[in-house]
């Protein structure tokens, strides 16, 4: 890897030079982790608070049971100390399950300093959803100030999402499973599709609103499509956040049934 990097850096077409490379090499770990971002896209407040914090939210849940690892990097993910970056990868303290991965994808910073159900925007229902844009300005105090919302993984902007499960001890046709979902990950169910299938139910087929040329036609509700079913449920929850736990309980029940049925078929 080192020789490949040297070759790249000494290429006359390279955007960086060899002297910069050697500045990064010491220590080697910092070079490997931060080389490309420091060179091509230095981390700013937006990158740390609205992007890196999503990774931190997953890492902290597999590093320890005390919360110490997550607390260690609070200054970085809140944008207060952009030099205190966490590692590119971590070694979890336990085996990560399929179910863990699904719920990581629904994360909304629950129980952390970024928990949106605890800030002023939560209003009377202690809601964890915010309208966009992420940044906005206000001059109500006589001085224009800029504010921002958090950007969790579980967000209303999601069109579709999936978790891929690969099992080498099974035949190819059933060893790979794509647990596929549509719309907001926090309010939708992952449905298993074996990689060996040769047709897809019409409600899940590639005929979503992104394939409709007419923008107005794309907003026509079609209750035969899974996307609209989950989107309607999610939008109901956004204005009545007290239903959030009810929907997530239903998700647990549905995904549990899918997992049990799939195991019985093996």
Other CB atoms within a 10 A radius of the CB of residue 164 amount to 12
At residue 206, the pLDDT reads 65
Domain ranges of the chain: 2-91, 97-266
User: What is the residue-level pLDDT of the chain in tens, covering all 266 positions?
Assistant: 333 333 334 444 444 454 455 454 444 555 555 667 777 788 999 999 999 999 999 999 999 989 999 999 999 999 999 999 998 889 999 999 999 999 999 999 999 999 999 988 888 889 998 888 889 888 777 788 888 999 999 998 888 899 999 998 999 999 999 999 999 999 999 999 999 999 988 888 865 555 666 667 667 788 888 999 999 999 999 989 999 999 999 999 999 999 888 776 66
Q: What is the DSSP letter of 244?
A: H
The Cα–Cα gap between 179 and 182 comes to: 11
At residue 2, the pLDDT reads 33
Query: Which residues is 194 bridged to in the sheet?
Result: 177
At residue 1, the pLDDT reads 33
Query: Which residues is 192 bridged to in the sheet?
Result: 179
Contacts of 59 (CB under 8 A, 6+ apart): 69, 70, 86, 90
């Amino acid at each position: 890897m080192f020789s490949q990097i040297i070759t790249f850096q000494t290429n006359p077409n390279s955007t960086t030079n060899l002297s910069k490379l050697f500045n990064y090499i010491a220590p080697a770990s910092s070079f490997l982790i931060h080389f490309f971002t420091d060179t091509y896209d230095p981390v700013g407040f937006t990158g740390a608070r609205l992007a890196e914090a999503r990774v931190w939210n997953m890492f902290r849940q597999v590093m320890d049971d005390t919360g110490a690892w997550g607390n260690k990097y609070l200054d970085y993910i809140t944008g207060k100390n952009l030099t205190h970056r966490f590692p590119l990868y971590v070694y979890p303290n336990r085996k990560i399950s399929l179910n863990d991965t699904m719920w990581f994808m629904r994360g909304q910073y629950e129980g952390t300093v970024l928990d949106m159900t605890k800030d002023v925007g939560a209003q009377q229902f202690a809601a964890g959803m915010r309208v966009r844009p992420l940044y906005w300005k206000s001059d109500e105090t006589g001085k224009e100030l800029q504010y921002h919302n958090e950007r969790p993984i579980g967000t209303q902007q999601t069109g579709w999402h999936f978790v891929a499960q690969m099992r080498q001890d099974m035949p190819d046709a059933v060893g790979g499973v794509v647990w596929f979902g549509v719309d907001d990950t926090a309010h939708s169910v992952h449905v298993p599709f074996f990689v060996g299938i040769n047709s897809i139910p019409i409600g899940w087929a590639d005929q979503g609103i992104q394939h409709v040329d007419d923008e107005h036609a794309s907003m026509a509700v079609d209750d035969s499509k899974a996307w609209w079913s989950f989107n309607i449920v999610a939008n109901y929850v956004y204005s009545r956040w007290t239903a959030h736990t009810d929907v997530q309980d239903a998700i647990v029940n549905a995904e549990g049934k899918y997992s049990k049925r799939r195991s019985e078929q093996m």
